[in-house]
Structure 1
Amino acid sequence: MFHSLWAQLALAMSALAGTAAFADARRMRRTNFDRVGFMPWTSISMLAITGAIISAAFALKGF
């Protein structure tokens, strides 16, 4: 379906951003606030969104 490496990377980054957003929403709804996690889900989702946008731009450009 996707023949470009950039398009595949954009799709993977979009999936990572969706997973990170879901995990961050789950973290915000936790009942026991003393059980803190160690993953910076907000930062991961922002970096994944940025990577997806850049990869999609390169895929559309034709690199």
Structure 2
Amino acid sequence: MTDTNRIMAIAGAVSALLAALAWIQDRRRIRRRNLDRVGFMPWTAIFFWALMSAVLLLGLSGRALLGGN
């Protein structure tokens, strides 16, 4: 595994962790008791972009790991 693939795998894992955190926080925001406490973080958008980058980065590093170009 080259350094570039290792960096892509690490960045993909960090993105996957961020996506999981954003998903948990979005569910927490949806299930809040006090409807007036909306918050300011766009958890849905953070989840979408983090998951998209995780899929792409892990897919590219996995492809290189399995022998593809």
- Distance in 2 (CA, whole Å) between partners of 1:47 and 1:11 is 14
Q: How does 1:19-58 map to 2 (within 5 A)?
A: 19-58=21-60
CA drift at 1:61? 2.9
- Higher gyration radius (CA): 2
Structure 2 residue ranges without an equivalent (≥5): none
1:13-38 deviations in whole A, cap 9, x for unaligned?
00000000000010011011111110
Structure 2 equivalent of residue 18 of structure 1: 20
CA drift at 1:57? 1.7
How many residue pairs get matched? 61
- Distance in 1 (CA, whole Å) between partners of 2:14 and 2:33 is 31
TM-score normalised per structure 1:
0.88
Stretches of 4+ aligned residues off by more than 6 angstroms: none
RMSD, aligned CA = 1.4
Structure 1 residue ranges without an equivalent (≥5): none
